[in-house]
Amino acid sequence: MPSSLNPTALARLLGSWNSGALPAYRELADVVRLLVMDGRIPLDVALPSERSLASTLGLSRTTITAAYASLREQGFLTGGQGSRGRTSIPHRSTPVSMPGLAAPEGLLDLAYASLPAAGEVVHRAFADALTELPALLPGFGYDALGIPVLREAIAAKYTADGVPTTPEQILVTSGAQHALNIILRTLAGKQHKVLVEHPSYPNALDAIRAAGSRPL
């Protein structure tokens, strides 16, 4: 992964960016932001200096300065004016409002069955997935069992963890609720007892009752 981007390489990525519909600095900032968001410009990469990029693109340095300033304000560029800013993703300055009650200091919040997402890790995963998207577009967008390469990756992870698994044994669902309903329709029936933990996932209880079974 490059640690810096020269003006020629950035100009190539920009392509025909200046449509004239908006001020040049805004169009330039918008395109650079999209390049960062879709992963074509990686995170923590130094962009060209204002002077060198202005010369390469045939623009005034004022235009480049304004574009970089806009990217800094939006959180997609770090570093002050005059230094080579590095690409980044925005970070909230205030806590995100989450549903439920906030856990008092020193207590672990067990209300959610997931950990906070690591922003840069998710961004890299999204960027990697985006590069694979064009190969999937000719189809109709749905695979009853899950995309083969994903099933292979999941099976490989289980195997590496000590549970030998083949892709044919993997079914990718659209979420936990989807998976739960499939299991209930396959294994449970009318008046069957289904053992649950307490406290339990409310949607699981609803699904069990909807299947005609009884949560225990």
Selection from 189, 215, 193 nearest residue 204 by Cα = 215
In a domain, 138, yes or no: no
Q: What share of the chain is helix, strand, coil (3-state, %, to 5)?
A: 45, 5, 50
Which of 87, 115, 148 corresponds to the end of one domain? 87
- pLDDT attached to residue 99: 53
- The structure's pTM equals 0.48
In this predicted model, what pLDDT tens digit does every residue of 94-133 receive, in sequence order?
555 555 556 667 766 666 666 666 777 888 888 888 877 7
List of residues 6+ apart from 211 with CB closer than 8 A = 181, 184, 185, 188, 189
Domain, as residue range, for 199:
176-215
**Residue type at position 52:** S
Which of 68, 87, 106 corresponds to the end of one domain? 87
Q: How is residue 66 written in tokens? A: 């304004």
In a domain, 183, yes or no: yes
In this predicted model, what pLDDT tens digit does every residue of 62-94 receive, in sequence order?
999 999 999 999 889 987 665 688 999 887 555
Q: CA-based angle 78:79:84, to the nearest 5?
A: 105
What is 20-57 written as a DSSP string? SSS-HHHHHHHHHHHHHHTTSS-TT-BPPPHHHHHHHH
- pLDDT attached to residue 95: 52
Which of 87, 108, 142 corresponds to the end of one domain? 87
Total domain count, the chain: 2
| 48 and 56 Cβ atoms separated by less than 8 Å | yes
